[in-house]
Structure 1
Amino acid sequence: MKKKIFAVMMSLVLVFSLALTGCGSKEESSDQPAETSADSMKVGFIYVGPIGDGGWSYAHNEARLYLENELGVSTIYKESVPEGPEVEKIMRDMIDQGAKVIFATSFGYMDYVEKISKEYPDVKFLHCSGYKDGENMSNYFGRMYEPRYLSGVVAGMKTQTNKIGYVAAFEIPEVIRGINAFTLGVKSVNPEASVAVRWTHTWYDPVSEKAAAESLLDEGSDVIAQHQDTAGPQQAAQEKGAFSIGYNTDMKEMAPQAYLTAPVWNWGPYYVKQVKAAMDGTWKSENYWGGMEDEVVQLAPMTELVPSEAVQKVTELEGKIKDGSLKVFAGPIKDNEGNVVVKEGEVLTDEQLLSMDWLVEGVEGSIKK
């Protein structure tokens, strides 16, 4: 009797084991587990400005739409979110709505993203333009200083007064690096030119940005560049009969009589790559800083207002940047107080670029410390 009972029990165990094995085989053979399918993947985006700004937030939002189209995932977004504690609530709300990946797209969100990422280890957080990371938190940015340099070449060959204005947001390494790269581009083709900087202490304020550009124009600048999110400086240049270098997106339509070109962002392919990795289980935290060779940063098409010799020069230099033979921050480089900050034969490291707190020779302005 015991043998029969034992035999029956063994039979039941065998049947149960086979059933489990069958279930396991079915799960393993699935190309895409249900929890990571496109239908169940929701991605959140947080913007510091309105998506209609025509600049920074607009570029990120265009990439969000590209992501939806490429992968078929659903997305949610919140625009005009201040760089403060409010962003914590926004992230929690997105997670409550089912977001499994969140892109926070402004520097001032960094500490808050780090805090929330530790509270939600199963959610992937990607922070733009910062430097902190964690097991489920990446930071990402692009080497915008590369097309900035090229846009400086355009400005240097276009100016007639040898005075170029630059409307800048905040005295942080990202902005300072851009001013310096632009000025190095200007000086490489026009040693007599200088770049005057006006700080607005805002990312998105059309009125103050335009006013800053107007003051630079009144002082003799005939080309205006910017590290701002609106087209205010472009419009000021057009109204004064001057020329302009945009930023973030192709701003030709905003000031067609003034616009020359712009360093622009192309976030879409990066967003697709990161979300796809999250879906298939291969996502890993990283510090990403792509350049022109990745096409995450580009120089927008130059308009007919750009001299033909400038177009030829930029085309030549762009190829050198992409193949690595031209390094924007290769010495010798002096700061605007006359000190040698990069010696002959040296090239700034990424760490030095990311902590830049000085202005190159040729910049008229200062940094509050």
Structure 2
Amino acid sequence: MKKIVTLILVFVLALSVFGCTQPAGQPEATPTPPPAAPSTPSAPPDISQTPGEGEYKQYPDFKVAALLSGVITDNGWSANMYNAVMNLADKYGVTADYVESVTVSDMEEYLRGFAGDGYGLVIAHGSQFIDVVNAVAGDYPDTLFAISFAATDVSQHDNVACIAPVNQGILEGIAAGALTKTNKVAMLGSEENPSISGDINVFESGVRLVNADAEVITGYIGSATDADKGKEMAMTLISSGVDVITHQANAAGLGVLQAAEEAGILAVGINTDQYSVAPDAVVTSVLRNFPAIYEALLPDIAEGKLTGGLYRFGIKEQGCVFSDWHGWDAKLPAEIKLIQDTVQGIIDGTIAEP
């Protein structure tokens, strides 16, 4: 039985090959053709500025539900959205619920249940839920359904918002390219889907911003939950000379980080600060900034001002950011400065965001 918690304050190696080329594109297909989508995304709010202490407007009658594909203890994708929901409850006084381990086949029941109970915001946390959200949303016009992560406007209704903190893979690439000494870096994804493949595909672009010569290897574990497989595949890559590794693999990625620590190489975490998983390896983590994004959007959502469509937050808009360096900036000052200067260049426009 899935766990629902109410917060009043809020190898058989599964992949066929490792590749230096981009993985194949995703299958198309929605049950019915969507209406014409806007050619440009809605302007995202500025998430770098937040109200001061005591300045948050309270919405005690507003209810939020986050439907998670994983568990809140994954120290990654689902934990990140759990933190975002807790933040909304803490800052705005909303009632916030979450459900763990929701499958595509279960999603419709939960969407209808929460929308039917008067929830103003229901978050489907994963691109695998796009079709079912569009199938349900038209029946509940008073609820805003948010899909995270959807990097293109896949909404078929005015009450479906695509929330997209994009280019996490570029930041992972910048870090890996700056930190490597052997000029051989790698990223492992979980399974091929739009959320994962999008970042796998741009990883090399990030590396090239700081390192023209590094060999870039990518591959898929074939699971989002099997940390042992992630560790085994990472060890294979490390034995080939990779000295910086990162992942897009949810809980399976924890095995990647553990392999890095055991082998004495460097690693980059994702989604939440994963330093504690492997403190001798994880230099930093690239966070999808969902807590700040939903914090910025919540007032307009609660007041019925936010319409559907695409809300895209690139590096320039700080949709993805680096975590704390945990002392690595003192150990590797030149490398960390290169990373920071490159990101600042993207933010101020002197470096083009790939």
Structure 1 spans left out of the alignment, 5+ residues: 1-36, 330-369
Shift of 1:270: 2.4
- For the aligned residue pairs, the C-alpha RMSD in angstroms reads 2.2
Task: Tell me what 2:10 maps to.
Answer: none
Does the 8 Å contact 2:127/2:195 carry over to 1?
no
What are the within-5 Å matches in structure 2 for residues 66-215 of structure 1? 66-82=87-103, 84-130=104-150, 131-133=153-155, 134-145=157-168, 148-215=169-236
State the alpha-carbon separation in 1 of the partners of residues 70 and 296 from structure 2.
Answer: 25
Q: Higher relative contact order at CA 8 Å, sep ≥6: structure 1 or structure 2?
A: 2
Task: Tell me what 1:54 maps to.
Answer: 75
Compared CA separation, residues 225 and 269, structure 1 to 2 (3 A): closer
Pick from 336, 348, 353: which aligns with 1:311? 336
State the alpha-carbon separation in 2 of the partners of residues 278 and 185 from structure 1.
Answer: 33
Shift of 1:127: 0.8
What are the within-5 Å matches in structure 2 for residues 259-278 of structure 1? 259-278=282-301
Task: Tell me what 2:239 maps to.
Answer: 218
Identical aligned residues as a percent: 26
Shift of 1:233: 0.9
State the alpha-carbon separation in 2 of the partners of residues 103 and 188 from structure 1.
Answer: 34
Aligned residue pairs: how many?
291
What are the within-5 Å matches in structure 2 for residues 294-309 of structure 1? 294-305=317-328, 307-309=332-334
Shift of 1:258: 0.6
Task: Tell me what 1:327 maps to.
Answer: 352
Shift of 1:124: 1.2
**Secondary structure of the residue that 2:242 maps to in structure 1?**
coil
Shift of 1:66: 0.5
State the alpha-carbon separation in 1 of the partners of residues 131 and 224 from structure 2.
Answer: 18
Shift of 1:95: 2.7
Task: Give me the TM-score of the superposition, normalised by structure 1.
Answer: 0.73
State the alpha-carbon separation in 2 of the partners of residues 273 and 262 from structure 1.
Answer: 22
CA-to-aligned-CA distance 1:104-160 (integer Å, 9 cap, x gap): 110100100011101222221111122311111111111234xx4343233223323
Does the 8 Å contact 2:243/2:265 carry over to 1?
yes
Task: Tell me what 2:266 maps to.
Answer: 243
1:286 aligns with 2:306: no
The structure with more helix, counted as a fraction of residues: 1
Which has more radius of gyration?
1
The more displaced of 183-192 and 210-219 is: 183-192
Does the 8 Å contact 1:167/1:225 carry over to 2?
yes
The more displaced of 287-296 and 258-267 is: 287-296
Which amino acid in the other structure matches residue 274 of structure 1?
L
CA-to-aligned-CA distance 1:183-242 (integer Å, 9 cap, x gap): 233234333321222212333332222222122123221211111113221111111112
CA-to-aligned-CA distance 1:302-335 (integer Å, 9 cap, x gap): 3444622112212221121112232232xxxxxx
State the alpha-carbon separation in 2 of the partners of residues 281 and 176 from structure 1.
Answer: 33
**Secondary structure of the residue that 2:270 maps to in structure 1?**
coil
Does the 8 Å contact 1:153/1:310 carry over to 2?
no
